[in-house]
Structure 1
Protein backbone atom coordinates (compact mmCIF):
# COMPACT_ATOMS: atom_id res chain seq x y z
CA UNK A 1 0.00 0.00 0.00
CA UNK A 2 1.43 3.39 -0.97
CA UNK A 3 1.50 6.47 1.23
CA UNK A 4 -1.09 8.08 -1.06
CA UNK A 5 -3.46 5.13 -0.51
CA UNK A 6 -3.67 5.90 3.22
CA UNK A 7 -3.53 9.70 2.98
CA UNK A 8 -5.55 11.40 5.73
CA UNK A 9 -8.44 13.67 4.69
CA UNK A 10 -7.83 17.39 4.30
CA UNK A 11 -8.57 19.36 7.49
CA UNK A 12 -11.97 20.92 7.88
CA UNK A 13 -12.32 24.67 8.38
CA UNK A 14 -10.91 25.62 11.77
CA UNK A 15 -8.90 22.43 12.24
CA UNK A 16 -5.59 24.24 12.57
CA UNK A 17 -4.04 21.44 14.61
CA UNK A 18 -4.97 18.90 11.97
CA UNK A 19 -3.44 21.12 9.27
CA UNK A 20 -0.10 21.57 11.03
CA UNK A 21 0.08 17.89 11.99
CA UNK A 22 -0.62 16.94 8.36
CA UNK A 23 2.21 19.19 7.19
CA UNK A 24 4.57 17.55 9.68
CA UNK A 25 3.43 14.03 8.73
CA UNK A 26 4.05 14.75 5.05
CA UNK A 27 7.59 15.73 6.03
CA UNK A 28 7.99 12.40 7.86
CA UNK A 29 7.89 14.13 11.24
CA UNK A 30 10.98 16.20 10.54
CA UNK A 31 11.79 18.91 13.12
CA UNK A 32 11.15 22.40 11.76
CA UNK A 33 8.65 21.27 9.13
CA UNK A 34 5.73 23.02 10.88
CA UNK A 35 5.01 25.16 13.92
CA UNK A 36 2.22 24.77 16.45
CA UNK A 37 1.13 28.29 17.41
CA UNK A 38 -1.04 28.70 20.52
CA UNK A 39 -2.76 32.04 21.11
CA UNK A 40 -4.12 32.85 24.56
CA UNK A 41 -7.01 35.24 25.07
CA UNK A 42 -4.75 37.83 26.75
CA UNK A 43 -2.67 38.08 23.57
CA UNK A 44 0.19 35.81 24.66
CA UNK A 45 1.57 33.71 21.79
CA UNK A 46 3.46 30.48 22.31
CA UNK A 47 4.82 27.99 19.85
CA UNK A 48 6.25 24.47 19.76
CA UNK A 49 7.54 22.00 17.19
CA UNK A 50 4.94 19.31 16.37
CA UNK A 51 7.70 16.85 15.43
CA UNK A 52 7.50 15.69 19.07
CA UNK A 53 4.17 14.03 18.24
CA UNK A 54 6.06 11.70 15.89
CA UNK A 55 9.11 11.10 18.08
CA UNK A 56 10.05 7.61 19.34
CA UNK A 57 9.75 6.70 23.01
CA UNK A 58 13.45 7.32 23.70
CA UNK A 59 13.05 10.99 22.76
CA UNK A 60 9.98 11.73 24.90
CA UNK A 61 10.05 13.85 28.04
CA UNK A 62 10.11 11.78 31.24
CA UNK A 63 6.40 12.31 32.12
CA UNK A 64 5.36 11.01 28.69
CA UNK A 65 7.58 7.93 29.05
CA UNK A 66 6.06 7.25 32.46
CA UNK A 67 2.56 7.16 30.99
CA UNK A 68 3.65 4.36 28.68
CA UNK A 69 5.42 2.52 31.50
CA UNK A 70 2.38 2.75 33.82
CA UNK A 71 -0.17 1.61 31.20
CA UNK A 72 -1.77 -1.79 31.62
CA UNK A 73 -4.43 -3.93 29.94
CA UNK A 74 -6.82 -2.42 27.41
CA UNK A 75 -5.94 1.23 26.78
CA UNK A 76 -8.03 4.16 25.54
CA UNK A 77 -5.86 7.09 24.38
CA UNK A 78 -8.03 10.23 24.57
CA UNK A 79 -6.84 12.93 22.17
CA UNK A 80 -4.42 10.49 20.57
CA UNK A 81 -2.87 12.91 18.08
CA UNK A 82 -0.48 11.25 15.64
CA UNK A 83 -0.59 8.04 17.68
CA UNK A 84 2.87 7.95 19.28
CA UNK A 85 1.58 6.43 22.54
CA UNK A 86 -0.70 4.00 20.73
CA UNK A 87 2.12 2.69 18.58
CA UNK A 88 4.50 2.31 21.52
CA UNK A 89 1.93 0.50 23.65
CA UNK A 90 0.90 -1.78 20.79
CA UNK A 91 4.59 -2.62 20.33
CA UNK A 92 4.58 -3.69 23.98
CA UNK A 93 1.63 -6.01 23.34
CA UNK A 94 -1.19 -3.94 24.85
CA UNK A 95 -4.64 -3.68 23.25
CA UNK A 96 -5.08 -0.03 22.24
CA UNK A 97 -7.78 2.28 20.92
CA UNK A 98 -7.30 5.97 20.23
CA UNK A 99 -9.87 8.71 19.75
CA UNK A 100 -9.56 12.26 18.48
CA UNK A 101 -12.18 14.75 17.32
CA UNK A 102 -10.26 15.59 14.11
CA UNK A 103 -10.71 13.35 11.07
CA UNK A 104 -7.36 14.57 9.75
CA UNK A 105 -5.57 13.72 12.98
CA UNK A 106 -7.12 10.27 13.25
CA UNK A 107 -6.32 9.73 9.58
CA UNK A 108 -2.66 10.42 10.31
CA UNK A 109 -2.61 8.04 13.27
CA UNK A 110 -4.36 5.36 11.20
CA UNK A 111 -1.87 5.81 8.36
CA UNK A 112 0.92 5.18 10.89
CA UNK A 113 -0.70 1.90 11.92
CA UNK A 114 -2.67 2.89 15.03
CA UNK A 115 -6.17 1.67 15.89
CA UNK A 116 -8.20 4.89 16.08
CA UNK A 117 -11.70 6.34 15.82
CA UNK A 118 -12.75 9.89 15.02
CA UNK A 119 -14.96 10.83 17.97
CA UNK A 120 -15.60 13.44 20.62
CA UNK A 121 -14.72 11.95 23.98
CA UNK A 122 -18.18 12.49 25.49
CA UNK A 123 -19.89 10.94 22.46
CA UNK A 124 -17.52 7.97 22.60
CA UNK A 125 -17.94 7.36 26.32
CA UNK A 126 -21.73 7.58 26.17
CA UNK A 127 -22.16 5.73 22.88
CA UNK A 128 -22.95 2.07 22.45
CA UNK A 129 -20.15 -0.40 21.88
CA UNK A 130 -17.24 1.47 23.47
CA UNK A 131 -16.38 -1.51 25.64
CA UNK A 132 -14.43 -1.22 28.87
CA UNK A 133 -10.85 -0.23 29.57
CA UNK A 134 -8.10 -0.73 32.15
CA UNK A 135 -6.18 2.45 31.30
CA UNK A 136 -7.25 5.89 30.09
CA UNK A 137 -4.37 7.86 28.62
CA UNK A 138 -4.18 11.65 28.36
CA UNK A 139 -0.69 12.20 26.99
CA UNK A 140 0.91 15.27 25.48
CA UNK A 141 -0.36 17.50 28.28
CA UNK A 142 -3.89 16.29 27.60
CA UNK A 143 -5.07 16.41 31.18
CA UNK A 144 -5.68 19.94 29.89
CA UNK A 145 -8.81 18.76 28.05
CA UNK A 146 -10.53 18.52 31.43
CA UNK A 147 -10.99 22.20 30.67
CA UNK A 148 -12.87 23.38 33.74
CA UNK A 149 -14.29 22.09 37.01
CA UNK A 150 -17.68 21.36 35.44
CA UNK A 151 -16.44 19.76 32.22
CA UNK A 152 -13.58 17.88 33.85
CA UNK A 153 -15.57 16.37 36.68
CA UNK A 154 -18.32 15.39 34.26
CA UNK A 155 -15.78 13.58 32.07
CA UNK A 156 -14.22 11.78 35.03
CA UNK A 157 -17.64 10.58 36.19
CA UNK A 158 -18.57 9.46 32.66
CA UNK A 159 -15.34 7.48 32.27
CA UNK A 160 -16.37 5.30 35.20
CA UNK A 161 -19.07 3.78 32.95
CA UNK A 162 -16.44 2.21 30.72
CA UNK A 163 -13.88 1.43 33.42
CA UNK A 164 -12.83 -2.06 34.41
CA UNK A 165 -12.16 -2.86 38.10
CA UNK A 166 -8.87 -1.27 39.14
CA UNK A 167 -8.84 1.09 36.15
CA UNK A 168 -6.43 4.00 36.10
CA UNK A 169 -6.33 7.34 34.33
CA UNK A 170 -2.88 8.59 33.35
CA UNK A 171 -2.05 12.08 32.18
CA UNK A 172 0.49 14.87 31.98
CA UNK A 173 -0.02 18.44 33.13
CA UNK A 174 1.92 21.19 34.93
CA UNK A 175 1.57 23.58 37.84
CA UNK A 176 0.43 26.93 36.34
CA UNK A 177 2.08 28.87 39.17
CA UNK A 178 5.46 27.14 38.87
CA UNK A 179 6.87 30.05 36.89
CA UNK A 180 8.52 33.42 37.47
CA UNK A 181 7.12 34.87 34.23
CA UNK A 182 4.94 37.84 35.25
CA UNK A 183 2.81 37.51 32.09
CA UNK A 184 1.68 34.02 33.12
CA UNK A 185 1.29 34.93 36.80
CA UNK A 186 -0.83 37.98 35.95
CA UNK A 187 -3.07 35.84 33.74
CA UNK A 188 -3.47 33.27 36.52
CA UNK A 189 -4.47 36.02 38.97
CA UNK A 190 -7.03 37.37 36.51
CA UNK A 191 -8.45 33.87 36.13
CA UNK A 192 -8.87 33.45 39.86
CA UNK A 193 -10.39 36.94 40.21
CA UNK A 194 -13.01 36.03 37.60
CA UNK A 195 -13.94 32.76 39.30
CA UNK A 196 -11.92 30.48 37.03
CA UNK A 197 -9.13 28.13 38.03
CA UNK A 198 -5.64 29.63 37.94
CA UNK A 199 -4.52 27.39 35.07
CA UNK A 200 -7.75 27.56 33.07
CA UNK A 201 -6.29 29.02 29.88
CA UNK A 202 -8.61 30.18 27.13
CA UNK A 203 -6.68 29.39 23.95
CA UNK A 204 -6.88 28.58 20.27
CA UNK A 205 -4.46 26.90 17.87
CA UNK A 206 -3.28 28.73 14.77
CA UNK A 207 -1.62 27.57 11.57
CA UNK A 208 -1.04 29.97 8.67
CA UNK A 209 -4.45 31.63 8.17
CA UNK A 210 -6.37 28.94 10.05
CA UNK A 211 -7.51 29.23 13.66
CA UNK A 212 -9.36 26.74 15.82
CA UNK A 213 -12.34 27.76 17.94
CA UNK A 214 -11.46 29.10 21.39
CA UNK A 215 -11.44 26.44 24.12
CA UNK A 216 -10.40 26.04 27.76
CA UNK A 217 -7.23 24.07 28.47
CA UNK A 218 -6.52 23.36 32.12
CA UNK A 219 -3.22 23.12 33.99
CA UNK A 220 -3.29 21.90 37.59
CA UNK A 221 -0.85 21.71 40.47
CA UNK A 222 -0.84 18.25 42.11
CA UNK A 223 -2.80 19.55 45.13
CA UNK A 224 -5.38 21.09 42.80
CA UNK A 225 -5.71 17.85 40.87
CA UNK A 226 -6.27 15.95 44.11
CA UNK A 227 -9.04 18.39 45.09
CA UNK A 228 -10.44 18.34 41.54
CA UNK A 229 -11.21 14.62 41.72
CA UNK A 230 -13.46 14.92 44.81
CA UNK A 231 -16.86 13.38 44.15
CA UNK A 232 -15.86 11.88 40.77
CA UNK A 233 -15.03 8.37 41.95
CA UNK A 234 -11.34 8.87 41.15
CA UNK A 235 -8.44 9.68 43.46
CA UNK A 236 -4.89 10.89 42.82
CA UNK A 237 -2.62 7.95 43.57
CA UNK A 238 0.75 8.83 42.06
CA UNK A 239 2.71 11.88 40.84
CA UNK A 240 6.15 11.90 39.24
CA UNK A 241 7.70 15.17 38.12
CA UNK A 242 10.17 15.77 35.31
CA UNK A 243 10.90 18.00 32.34
CA UNK A 244 7.68 19.03 30.64
CA UNK A 245 5.50 18.96 33.77
CA UNK A 246 4.47 15.93 35.79
CA UNK A 247 2.86 12.57 35.20
CA UNK A 248 -0.22 11.79 37.30
CA UNK A 249 -2.09 8.58 37.97
CA UNK A 250 -5.72 8.54 39.06
CA UNK A 251 -7.32 5.31 40.26
CA UNK A 252 -10.93 4.43 40.98
CA UNK A 253 -11.71 5.30 44.60
Structure 2
Protein backbone atom coordinates (compact mmCIF):
# COMPACT_ATOMS: atom_id res chain seq x y z
CA UNK A 1 0.00 0.00 0.00
CA UNK A 2 1.53 3.38 -0.95
CA UNK A 3 2.35 5.69 1.95
CA UNK A 4 0.12 8.75 2.21
CA UNK A 5 1.19 11.90 4.07
CA UNK A 6 4.37 13.81 4.87
CA UNK A 7 6.09 10.84 6.61
CA UNK A 8 7.45 13.08 9.38
CA UNK A 9 8.08 10.02 11.54
CA UNK A 10 10.05 8.15 8.89
CA UNK A 11 12.06 11.20 7.83
CA UNK A 12 13.12 11.95 11.39
CA UNK A 13 14.41 8.42 11.90
CA UNK A 14 16.12 8.43 8.49
CA UNK A 15 17.81 11.75 9.27
CA UNK A 16 18.92 10.44 12.65
CA UNK A 17 20.47 7.38 11.05
CA UNK A 18 22.38 9.60 8.64
CA UNK A 19 23.56 11.91 11.42
CA UNK A 20 21.51 14.75 9.93
CA UNK A 21 18.72 15.23 12.47
CA UNK A 22 18.79 18.72 14.02
CA UNK A 23 15.20 18.84 15.26
CA UNK A 24 13.32 16.63 17.75
CA UNK A 25 10.73 14.09 16.72
CA UNK A 26 7.65 15.07 18.70
CA UNK A 27 4.58 13.03 19.46
CA UNK A 28 1.56 15.13 20.24
CA UNK A 29 -2.00 14.96 21.50
CA UNK A 30 -3.52 18.43 21.26
CA UNK A 31 -1.34 20.79 23.28
CA UNK A 32 0.48 17.98 25.07
CA UNK A 33 3.82 17.03 23.53
CA UNK A 34 6.73 14.74 24.31
CA UNK A 35 9.99 14.12 22.53
CA UNK A 36 10.21 10.63 21.03
CA UNK A 37 13.39 8.70 22.07
CA UNK A 38 14.67 7.90 18.58
CA UNK A 39 18.08 6.48 19.44
CA UNK A 40 16.86 4.20 22.24
CA UNK A 41 13.81 2.90 20.36
CA UNK A 42 15.23 2.37 16.87
CA UNK A 43 19.01 2.23 16.87
CA UNK A 44 20.04 0.34 20.01
CA UNK A 45 20.79 -3.23 18.88
CA UNK A 46 19.15 -6.14 20.70
CA UNK A 47 21.22 -7.65 23.48
CA UNK A 48 21.28 -11.47 23.08
CA UNK A 49 22.05 -11.82 26.80
CA UNK A 50 18.99 -9.86 27.91
CA UNK A 51 16.30 -12.19 29.34
CA UNK A 52 13.57 -10.53 27.29
CA UNK A 53 15.58 -10.93 24.10
CA UNK A 54 16.30 -14.57 24.91
CA UNK A 55 12.56 -15.10 25.39
CA UNK A 56 11.97 -13.59 21.96
CA UNK A 57 14.76 -15.62 20.33
CA UNK A 58 13.26 -18.84 21.66
CA UNK A 59 9.95 -18.11 19.93
CA UNK A 60 11.02 -17.04 16.44
CA UNK A 61 12.40 -19.00 13.52
CA UNK A 62 12.96 -18.46 9.83
CA UNK A 63 11.82 -17.41 7.42
CA UNK A 64 10.71 -14.44 9.53
CA UNK A 65 8.53 -11.50 8.55
CA UNK A 66 9.21 -8.40 10.67
CA UNK A 67 6.07 -6.24 10.53
CA UNK A 68 6.49 -2.55 11.23
CA UNK A 69 10.24 -3.03 11.23
CA UNK A 70 11.16 0.61 11.91
CA UNK A 71 14.84 1.26 11.27
CA UNK A 72 15.57 -2.46 11.06
CA UNK A 73 16.69 -3.00 14.63
CA UNK A 74 15.34 -6.55 14.83
CA UNK A 75 15.66 -7.32 11.11
CA UNK A 76 19.41 -6.72 11.20
CA UNK A 77 19.72 -8.97 14.23
CA UNK A 78 17.65 -11.86 12.88
CA UNK A 79 18.88 -11.82 9.28
CA UNK A 80 22.21 -13.13 10.57
CA UNK A 81 20.35 -16.19 11.90
CA UNK A 82 17.78 -16.89 9.17
CA UNK A 83 15.97 -15.32 6.24
CA UNK A 84 14.20 -12.14 7.37
CA UNK A 85 11.81 -9.93 5.42
CA UNK A 86 11.23 -6.45 6.89
CA UNK A 87 7.96 -4.65 6.08
CA UNK A 88 7.22 -0.94 6.66
CA UNK A 89 4.61 1.46 5.22
CA UNK A 90 7.05 4.39 5.40
CA UNK A 91 9.26 4.90 2.30
CA UNK A 92 11.81 6.78 4.42
CA UNK A 93 12.07 3.86 6.84
CA UNK A 94 12.47 1.33 4.02
CA UNK A 95 15.26 3.54 2.69
CA UNK A 96 16.79 3.71 6.17
CA UNK A 97 16.73 -0.07 6.57
CA UNK A 98 18.43 -0.59 3.23
CA UNK A 99 21.10 1.98 4.10
CA UNK A 100 21.70 0.14 7.37
CA UNK A 101 22.18 -3.21 5.66
CA UNK A 102 18.77 -4.87 5.92
CA UNK A 103 18.90 -7.25 2.98
CA UNK A 104 15.15 -7.54 2.28
CA UNK A 105 13.28 -4.37 3.26
CA UNK A 106 9.93 -3.74 1.57
CA UNK A 107 7.26 -1.08 1.61
CA UNK A 108 4.02 -2.76 2.60
CA UNK A 109 0.95 -2.94 4.81
CA UNK A 110 0.84 -5.41 7.72
CA UNK A 111 -2.96 -5.37 7.53
CA UNK A 112 -3.03 -6.65 3.93
CA UNK A 113 -0.63 -9.58 4.09
CA UNK A 114 -2.31 -12.01 1.63
CA UNK A 115 -1.99 -9.40 -1.14
CA UNK A 116 1.77 -9.24 -0.58
CA UNK A 117 2.86 -12.79 0.25
CA UNK A 118 1.85 -16.32 -0.79
CA UNK A 119 0.41 -18.92 1.56
CA UNK A 120 2.84 -20.65 3.94
CA UNK A 121 5.63 -18.15 3.18
CA UNK A 122 6.96 -17.64 6.72
CA UNK A 123 7.88 -19.77 9.70
CA UNK A 124 7.33 -16.95 12.16
CA UNK A 125 6.27 -13.32 12.42
CA UNK A 126 7.21 -10.41 14.66
CA UNK A 127 5.08 -7.28 15.17
CA UNK A 128 7.01 -5.27 17.76
CA UNK A 129 6.15 -1.66 18.51
CA UNK A 130 2.43 -1.89 19.41
CA UNK A 131 1.42 -1.44 15.73
CA UNK A 132 -1.16 -4.20 16.18
CA UNK A 133 -3.15 -1.64 18.14
CA UNK A 134 -3.93 0.09 14.85
CA UNK A 135 -6.50 -2.66 14.22
CA UNK A 136 -9.59 -0.60 15.12
CA UNK A 137 -11.82 -3.34 16.51
CA UNK A 138 -11.90 -6.89 17.83
CA UNK A 139 -13.14 -8.00 14.43
CA UNK A 140 -10.21 -6.28 12.69
CA UNK A 141 -7.79 -7.89 15.13
CA UNK A 142 -9.29 -11.30 14.35
CA UNK A 143 -8.99 -10.60 10.60
CA UNK A 144 -5.30 -9.73 11.02
CA UNK A 145 -4.72 -13.02 12.83
CA UNK A 146 -6.48 -14.88 10.03
CA UNK A 147 -4.39 -13.13 7.37
CA UNK A 148 -1.22 -13.85 9.33
CA UNK A 149 -2.19 -17.51 9.57
CA UNK A 150 -2.54 -17.62 5.77
CA UNK A 151 1.01 -16.41 5.04
CA UNK A 152 2.64 -18.62 7.71
CA UNK A 153 3.25 -22.36 7.88
CA UNK A 154 1.12 -24.81 9.85
CA UNK A 155 3.69 -24.92 12.67
CA UNK A 156 4.46 -21.19 12.66
CA UNK A 157 4.94 -18.95 15.66
CA UNK A 158 4.40 -15.22 16.10
CA UNK A 159 5.10 -12.53 18.67
CA UNK A 160 3.02 -9.36 19.01
CA UNK A 161 2.95 -6.64 21.66
CA UNK A 162 0.62 -4.08 23.21
CA UNK A 163 0.05 -1.84 26.23
CA UNK A 164 -2.37 -3.28 28.78
CA UNK A 165 -5.08 -0.69 29.59
CA UNK A 166 -5.79 -2.40 32.89
CA UNK A 167 -2.49 -0.97 34.20
CA UNK A 168 -2.33 2.58 35.56
CA UNK A 169 0.92 3.31 33.69
CA UNK A 170 -0.88 2.75 30.38
CA UNK A 171 -3.48 5.35 31.33
CA UNK A 172 -0.64 7.84 31.78
CA UNK A 173 0.57 7.45 28.18
CA UNK A 174 0.29 10.54 26.01
CA UNK A 175 -3.01 10.43 24.16
CA UNK A 176 -4.70 7.78 26.31
CA UNK A 177 -8.50 7.59 26.16
CA UNK A 178 -10.75 5.42 28.30
CA UNK A 179 -13.06 2.93 26.61
CA UNK A 180 -16.27 1.47 28.06
CA UNK A 181 -15.33 -2.05 26.95
CA UNK A 182 -13.52 -3.99 29.71
CA UNK A 183 -9.88 -4.70 28.91
CA UNK A 184 -9.78 -2.06 26.17
CA UNK A 185 -8.41 1.47 25.93
CA UNK A 186 -7.65 3.94 23.17
CA UNK A 187 -4.69 6.12 22.33
CA UNK A 188 -4.70 9.07 19.93
CA UNK A 189 -1.45 10.82 18.95
CA UNK A 190 0.57 11.97 15.98
CA UNK A 191 4.18 12.73 15.09
CA UNK A 192 5.67 16.08 14.11
CA UNK A 193 9.09 16.84 12.68
CA UNK A 194 10.52 20.04 11.19
CA UNK A 195 7.09 21.62 10.92
CA UNK A 196 5.40 18.63 9.27
CA UNK A 197 2.70 16.60 11.03
CA UNK A 198 1.67 13.06 10.16
CA UNK A 199 -2.01 12.02 10.28
CA UNK A 200 -3.27 11.09 13.73
CA UNK A 201 -2.79 7.49 14.82
CA UNK A 202 -5.67 5.87 16.69
CA UNK A 203 -4.61 2.82 18.68
CA UNK A 204 -6.91 0.29 20.30
CA UNK A 205 -5.08 -0.96 23.39
CA UNK A 206 -6.13 -4.36 24.70
CA UNK A 207 -5.34 -6.68 27.58
CA UNK A 208 -3.99 -10.19 26.85
CA UNK A 209 -7.47 -11.61 27.49
CA UNK A 210 -8.83 -9.64 24.53
CA UNK A 211 -6.09 -11.09 22.32
CA UNK A 212 -7.07 -14.57 23.47
CA UNK A 213 -10.70 -13.82 22.59
CA UNK A 214 -9.72 -12.53 19.15
CA UNK A 215 -7.73 -15.70 18.46
CA UNK A 216 -10.79 -17.92 18.98
CA UNK A 217 -11.85 -19.25 15.61
CA UNK A 218 -8.45 -18.57 14.04
CA UNK A 219 -5.48 -20.91 13.63
CA UNK A 220 -3.69 -19.17 16.53
CA UNK A 221 -3.64 -19.61 20.28
CA UNK A 222 -1.84 -17.43 22.83
CA UNK A 223 0.94 -19.67 24.09
CA UNK A 224 2.69 -17.28 26.49
CA UNK A 225 2.67 -13.70 27.71
CA UNK A 226 5.74 -11.85 28.97
CA UNK A 227 5.43 -8.50 30.67
CA UNK A 228 8.09 -5.84 30.71
CA UNK A 229 10.42 -5.46 33.65
CA UNK A 230 10.38 -2.80 36.36
CA UNK A 231 8.35 0.23 35.33
CA UNK A 232 7.37 -1.42 32.03
CA UNK A 233 4.99 -4.09 33.33
CA UNK A 234 2.10 -2.36 31.52
CA UNK A 235 3.73 -3.39 28.22
CA UNK A 236 3.56 -7.05 27.22
CA UNK A 237 4.58 -9.38 24.43
CA UNK A 238 2.37 -12.30 23.53
CA UNK A 239 3.70 -15.46 21.86
CA UNK A 240 1.28 -17.12 19.44
CA UNK A 241 1.40 -20.69 18.18
CA UNK A 242 -0.67 -22.54 15.59
CA UNK A 243 -3.35 -24.69 17.21
CA UNK A 244 -2.68 -27.74 15.04
CA UNK A 245 1.11 -27.59 15.36
1:221 pairs with 2:213: no
Counterpart among 2, 11, 28 of residue 19 in structure 1: 11
Deviates more, 1:135-144 or 1:97-106: 135-144
Q: TM-score under structure 1 normalisation?
A: 0.79
Q: Kindly state the Cα deviation for residue 15 of structure 1 after the two structures are TM-superposed.
A: 0.7
In structure 2, list runs of 5 or more residues that go unmatched. none
- Within 5 Å, which residues of 2 pair with 1:10-159? 13-27=5-19, 35-40=24-29, 44-52=32-40, 53-58=42-47, 63=52, 66-91=55-80, 93-114=81-102, 115-127=104-116, 129=118, 132-159=121-148
Q: Kindly state the Cα deviation for residue 81 of structure 1 after the two structures are TM-superposed.
A: 0.7
- 1:56–1:69: structure 2 CA closer, same or farther, 3 Å change rule? farther
Partner of 2:241: 251
Number of equivalent positions = 235
In structure 1, list runs of 5 or more residues that go unmatched. 1-10
Partner of 2:221: 235
Q: Kindly state the Cα deviation for residue 108 of structure 1 after the two structures are TM-superposed.
A: 0.4
- 1:76·1:97 contact (CA, 8 Å) conserved in 2? yes
- 1:43–1:18: structure 2 CA closer, same or farther, 3 Å change rule? same
- Within 5 Å, which residues of 2 pair with 1:144-183? 144-179=133-168
Q: CA RMSD in A?
A: 3.1
Counterpart among 161, 165, 184 of residue 198 in structure 1: 184
- 1:34·1:49 contact (CA, 8 Å) conserved in 2? no
2:154 & 2:222 partners in 1: Cα distance? 16
2:61 & 2:111 partners in 1: Cα distance? 23
1:174 & 1:109 partners in 2: Cα distance? 26
Partner of 2:193: 207
Q: TM-score under structure 2 normalisation?
A: 0.81
2:117 & 2:174 partners in 1: Cα distance? 43
Higher share of residues assigned helix: 1
2:164 & 2:202 partners in 1: Cα distance? 16
SS at match of 1:58: coil
2:106 & 2:37 partners in 1: Cα distance? 25
- 1:128–1:239: structure 2 CA closer, same or farther, 3 Å change rule? closer
- 1:231–1:200: structure 2 CA closer, same or farther, 3 Å change rule? farther
1:79 & 1:214 partners in 2: Cα distance? 17
- 2:120·2:153 contact (CA, 8 Å) conserved in 1? no
